[in-house]
Amino acid sequence: MKIAILGGGISGLSAAWYARKRYPDATIQMFEASSRLGGVIDTGCFHGFLYEKGPRTFVFSRSSHLLELLEELGMSQEILPCSSLAKKRYLWHRGKLRGISSLIGSLAFGLLKELFVSSKDVDDESVYDFALRKFNRKVAELLLDPMALGIYAADIRQLSLKSSFPFLYEWDRQGISLLRAFASSDSSKKKGLFTLQRGLFSLIETLKNRMDLEIFYETPITALMEDGVVAGGSFFPADMIVSALPGAVLGSLSGLWQDFSSTSLWVVQCAFEKGVLLKNGFGYLIPTMEKESVLGCVFDSSIFPRAGDCYFLTVMLRNLGDASWAEKEALLALKKHLKIEKAPIFISSYLAKDAIPFFKVGYAKRLSFFLQDLKIKYPRLHVCGNYVDGVSVDSCIHSSQKIFIN
Ligand SMILES: Cc1cc2nc3c(=O)[nH]c(=O)nc-3n(C[C@H](O)[C@H](O)[C@H](O)COP(=O)(O)OP(=O)(O)OC[C@H]3O[C@@H](n4cnc5c(N)ncnc54)[C@H](O)[C@@H]3O)c2cc1C
């Protein structure tokens, strides 16, 4: 049996892992467009401090598939709980950094409104419309907007509630109080965030090293056929094809979803001499109403309990310019928001291009038509990735595991 895996991010690598478990004797070929595996997962090192260029943290209570995979790989002992300082989060609002917990008091009126609002049976609506219906404008703009920016870097007026926050959608449909559900789900599960001792790229390396896999680097898929794929100018026959390509790439290659939307953002990472930051916590987000180019900032040195003799920060920005624009804007923002006047001792940036699928209202229905059309046109094709069940690394792993369980 021949299995072709398209794309070498975490979705593709975990798909290869489950494929190998299910079909021990299969020939598995992986086709990756770039010269490295991992996709958006990448770990760098500066002055002994390991920093993450893409994903960095996971919530224990929402990472069952990732935790299971780490156990299968013998990596459980590498799980590193993040500092308890990460619990503290801030918002930049009206010229000041404000602790989110201290804002809750001023949102109490809007939050309590949901107790008097009955559920509405809508197939989908925007996160903004949902927040207005259940709470009020202030809760929409100061709680749900930054929460959505932090995960999707997208506008809540267009973002689908059903696809972006499926748990909120379900609680609402079942008439469950969102505040109560939040409180009880939090108290019943293991709290907190974790990362990996040797950085997230160690997961990519371990997956690669533990599998017998034929990898074709710098070999982009250029065409999909019923019985195989065209990559790097050659045809590769396959009995099973697993696409772990970004949604927009598969949409366009198949010709079945040409206008698939994704979001790009700039990630600027900088290190300063120690003692530069007076705040501790996970970082801060900036609500859209503040009209800033920066989406938010993560205080890496505060949340990762790793040794390092500098202070590390990551600034995420909207895609409104080039790399030098992004770095300049990031430093200006750090000066304005955190009063960091000193020049960084390290700075680097990259554009996470089309890295996050944009789940617009009606996305779930559109996705299900796409998947049905794919099945008809390419009977051997299966799909996984961050546009299938959710954007988190855990959801990506789940989407690839499901292919080989059913
Ligand atoms: C900045 C950032 C921070 C994030 N933070 C978190 C976090 O803290 N926690 C969390 O859980 N999630 C986080 N996420 C989301 C999560 O990291 C991603 O959704 C997930 O890693 C996507 O994995 P993937 O394998 O599906 O896609 P990708 O990582 O995008 O991999 C797709 C692969 O396909 C390859 N490819 C593309 N076109 C072709 C082609 N034609 N032929 C062959 N190969 C091709 C690409 O080169 C790439 O290697 C973050 C995402 C970003 C961008």
HEC-encoded secondary structure of 180-249 = HHHHHHHHHCCCCEEEECCCCHHHHHHHHHHCCCEEECCCCEEEEECCEEEECCEEEECCEEEECCCHHH
Place 189 in a pLDDT band, splitting at 50, 70 and 90. low
- Closest-CA residue, ligand 1 atom 42, reads 220
Cβ–ligand 1 distance for 111 under 6 Å, the answer: no
Query: From the CB of 396, is ligand 1 less than 6 Å away?
Result: yes
Per-residue pLDDT tens over the stretch 341-379: 999 999 999 999 999 999 999 999 999 999 999 999 999
Report in angstroms the alpha-carbon separations of 212 from 16, 28, 35, 207. 9, 8, 19, 10
Q: Is 58 in the pocket of ligand 1 (CB under 6 A)?
A: yes
Question: What percent of the chain lies above the pLDDT cut of 70?
Answer: 98
Taking the CA atoms of residue 201, residue 206, residue 208 and residue 212 in that order, the dihedral angle to the nearest 10 degrees is: 180
pLDDT in tens, 256-300: 999 999 999 999 999 999 877 778 899 999 999 999 999 999 999
Domains and CATH numbers, the chain: 2-37+201-260+360-405 (3.50.50.60), 104-187 (1.10.3110.10)
Ligand 1 atom 48: the closest Cα is on which residue?
39
Distance from the alpha carbon of residue 325 to the mean position of ligand 1, in angstroms: 24
**Does 244 sit in the ligand 1 pocket, CB within 6 Å?**
yes
pTM of the model: 0.95
Q: Is the CB of 54 under 6 A from ligand 1?
A: yes
Answer yes or no: are the C-beta atoms of 38 and 10 closer than 8 Å: yes
**For residue range 34-44, what is the model confidence (pLDDT) as tens digits?**
999 999 999 99
* C-alpha closest to that of 329 among 272, 268, 276: 268
**What pLDDT is recorded for position 313?**
95
Rounded distance from Cα 114 to ligand 1 centre (Å): 36
Which is the closest atom of ligand 1 to the Cα of 11?
25
Compute the half-sphere exposure of residue 344: CA atoms within 13 Å on the CB side of its CA: 20
